[in-house]
Chains A and B, each alone.
Chain A
């Protein structure tokens, strides 16, 4: 499982945890999140995220 970090505000999406309160189940892969999804903290688009090096 990987993590992705927002380049604007540092919010991290952790695939293992998902975002249950937004309806994204634990284990949801980054590529399976809709392109219309935006960062819950700053509103940046998916394209503004980078994978966190393991």
Chain B
């Protein structure tokens, strides 16, 4: 048998690519290698599973056996790839070198963890995959007090999901308003109010100084000297692309793995897709950009070189307490213009020449998405 096309990672990027590839190349030998158990789930469901009444097993959309059958692929589960040898076209697993024809890095991103003092700091959880979710859910007694560190996308989504599920949620962030890196203040406040009405307590403009176990609970002390007693602490302060494997193999990386318009890395026959890459100097840790990129990469891998387009793609924040949608602007000097009455606000980010570069909608204004998307520049349009 010839060496298989090999995909590292069974997250949304890896599986979407395998599916797209199968539509174009039904007989191509295909191997997936994953650290997880291989059951397919949709990662964004992790932060809305309580409302959907789903436990970790309930999130599985395709059990491994079904996935193997659909993809006609060899799937190696619970395996860590320890090295890549681009010159030899092989990856190392359990000390053995497995050859590949072409390699796709879909290794995703790791959660960032902030250093925190105290003897309960080691008990802080993050939810970045289904197994994390199982552990988190297993610790939550009915009505538990949950401290969420980070009022970004994932922190706000979990706050909404857990508060709606009857948990006492407190969110702490050094920023002045939720989603402060994506939304202007007025919209951040609308989101803050919406979640507040659901019972979420906000602790903004401060950070966690220490976490200590006191009997059956955890005492959190904040940088403003206030305190809170909680049962579970969830950290959601951001993601960092997993680049170590690529970097150690001599593949060019910056914040993420560097790819060209065909999603090829600096190594021949090695490609990358999803949260582990950077595009035009930007990280795109969102679902929507993967779909277009995957279709292009599948075509390239099937023999028709196709450049990946990254059109403007709004990100849906899953906070039903205040529906929110944002097309993040690039890191260019400019300012937000906000119109409407809270919580139904429309905001457009314009550069200094007045050109619209991003937009954000909250409340009922989210229905106007179709009016704004055509005004937005692409994230990256290949030459």
Q: Give me the interface of A with B, judged by CB distance under 8 Å.
A: 7-10, 20-23, 38-39, 41-45, 47-48
Instruction: For the complex, give the distance between the alpha carbons of A44 and B293 in Å.
Output: 11
List, in ascending order, chain A residues with CB within 8 A of B291's CB.
Answer: 38-39, 42-45
Instruction: For the complex, give the distance between the alpha carbons of A45 and B23 in Å.
Output: 12
Interface size on B, residues (CB 8 A): 20
What are 29 contact pairs spanning A and B, CB under 8 A? A7-B61, A8-B16, A8-B42, A9-B42, A9-B44, A9-B287, A10-B42, A20-B367, A20-B370, A21-B368, A21-B369, A21-B370, A22-B369, A22-B370, A41-B287, A41-B288, A41-B316, A42-B42, A42-B287, A42-B288, A42-B291, A43-B287, A43-B289, A43-B292, A43-B313, A44-B291, A45-B291, A45-B295, A48-B19
A-B contact count (CB 8 A): 40
Q: Give me the interface of B with A, judged by CB distance under 8 Å.
A: 16, 19, 23, 42, 44, 61, 287-292, 295, 313, 316, 367-371
Distance (Å) between the CB of B69 and the closest chain A CB?
15
Instruction: For the complex, give the distance between the alpha carbons of A51 and B292 in Å.
Output: 23
- Which 4 pairs of residues, A with B, have the shortest CB-CB distance? A43-B291, A21-B370, A43-B288, A22-B370
The reply to whether B42 and A43 form a contact with Cβ atoms under 8 Å apart is no
The reply to whether A23 and B290 form a contact with Cβ atoms under 8 Å apart is no
Tell me what chain A mostly uses at the interface: helix, strand, loop, or mixed. Answer: loop
List, in ascending order, chain A residues with CB within 8 A of B371's CB.
Answer: 21
Instruction: For the complex, give the distance between the alpha carbons of A41 and B288 in Å.
Output: 7
